[in-house]
């Protein structure tokens, strides 16, 4: 079609999309074009701004490597990842869910660990944490024999794969739920950490005066045949960045009650000083058990990364 006005551009593109044979492709791309064109009209996008936007998107790709995905980081920083998660879990967004984002640090083949065992595999200073968690279905029935991966940052804010000081697979483990859907282990309290701000996501943060911190959390992935693979994070309730998570991952359901114990004896006699406990229940939904593609495949070598911390202004 030969275009006679700015209004007709949208029709021309939509009409070509009608040729697509895949109905879902047609639906998604038609909506994307409608919204994209409407967006340019709404903000009266200038040519210069359009060229800036193209350069920005190209930079997201250039900043993406084998071990870092700037596009996913951007999606999180705009709340899009959490929106997609909440639209697809909790009965398709109708009810509360304990589902959350996968993040970039899950690894395949975490070491199998018996219930009650520790995931601290090399000296890791920090307060001891005892986790008691349950996996249940939406009717409240315990889910036995579910495989549960857990992973977390150290109390210094590093995942083992980023940190040459920690042993391989430190603060990672794979558990199996018992007949009560229960799994439990000993660890150390995780700490929050900054996301990288040396690329386009950093520009976005600085333009808004945002900080780049994720509040402390424990990651969980529950795998059980007949259920949708459940990916979750349980956030530490005393973290000062809970309200300003740079990835918008914190939902009310996912704020865990990490309880500090000052005087009671800990479950293990060797624990001296204050310790923490966390009790939490994950609710999983019927669906397909499918593991995600691991975002990383191994341990980084060399130095601990020095990630800049932006102040919220």
- Chain residues 87-126 in contact with Fe ion, contact rule CB under 5 A: 103
CB of 103 or CB of 181, closer to Fe ion:
103
CB of 102 or CB of 143, closer to Fe ion:
102
- With CB under 5 A, what is the number of residues at the site for Fe ion? 1
Task: Give me 157's structure tokens.
Answer: 């804010």
On whether the CB atoms of residues 231 and 293 are closer than 8 A, the answer is no
CB of 143 or CB of 231, closer to Fe ion:
231
- Chain residues 49-88 in contact with Fe ion, contact rule CB under 5 A: none
**By beta-carbon distance, which residue lies closest to Fe ion?**
103
CB of 103 or CB of 155, closer to Fe ion:
103
CB of 76 to Fe ion, least distance (A): 11
CB of 103 or CB of 173, closer to Fe ion:
103
CA distance 181 to 177: 5
Task: Give me 239's structure tokens.
Answer: 């973290």
CB of 10 or CB of 69, closer to Fe ion:
69
CB of 156 to Fe ion, least distance (A): 14
CA dihedral 140, 144, 145, 149 (to 10 degrees): 40
CB of 115 to Fe ion, least distance (A): 23
CB atoms within 10 A of CB 173: 24
Spell out, one character per residue from 133 to 152, where the chain touches Fe ion: x when CB under 5 A holds, - when not: --------------------
CB of 153 to Fe ion, least distance (A): 6
CA nearest to 206, candidates 301, 118, 293, 311: 311
CB of 247 to Fe ion, least distance (A): 9
CB of 296 to Fe ion, least distance (A): 12
Residues in contact with Fe ion by CB under 5 A are 103
């Amino acid at each position: 079609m030969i275009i006679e006005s700015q209004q007709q551009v949208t029709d021309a593109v939509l009409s070509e999309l009608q040729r697509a044979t895949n109905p879902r492709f047609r639906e998604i791309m038609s909506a994307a074009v409608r919204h994209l064109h409407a967006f340019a009209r709404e903000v009266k996008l200038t040519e210069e701004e359009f060229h800036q936007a193209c350069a920005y998107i190209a930079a997201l790709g250039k900043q993406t490597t084998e071990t870092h995905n700037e596009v996913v980081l951007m999606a999180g920083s705009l709340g899009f990842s959490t929106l997609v998660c909440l639209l697809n879990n909790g009965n398709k967004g109708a009810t509360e869910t304990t589902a959350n984002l996968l993040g970039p640090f899950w690894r395949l083949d975490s070491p199998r660990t018996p219930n009650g065992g520790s995931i601290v595999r090399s000296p890791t200073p920090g307060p001891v944490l005892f986790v008691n968690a349950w996996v249940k279905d939406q009717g409240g029935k315990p889910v036995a024999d579910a495989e549960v991966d857990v992973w977390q940052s150290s109390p210094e804010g590093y995942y083992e794969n980023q940190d040459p000081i920690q042993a391989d697979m430190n603060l990672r483990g794979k558990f199996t739920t018992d007949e009560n859907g229960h799994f439990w282990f000993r660890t150390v309290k995780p700490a929050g950490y900054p996301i990288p701000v040396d690329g386009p996501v950093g520009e976005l943060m600085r333009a808004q005066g945002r900080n780049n911190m994720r509040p402390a959390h424990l990651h969980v992935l529950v795998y059980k045949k007949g259920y949708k693979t459940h990916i979750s994070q349980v956030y530490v309730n005393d973290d000062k960045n809970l309200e300003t998570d740079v990835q918008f991952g914190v939902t009310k359901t996912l704020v865990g009650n990490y309880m500090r114990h000052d005087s009671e004896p800990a479950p293990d006699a060797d624990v001296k000083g204050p310790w923490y406990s966390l009790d939490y229940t994950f609710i999983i939904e019927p669906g397909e058990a499918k593991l995600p593609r691991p975002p990383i495949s191994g341990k980084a070598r060399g130095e601990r990364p020095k990630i800049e911390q932006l102040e919220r202004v």
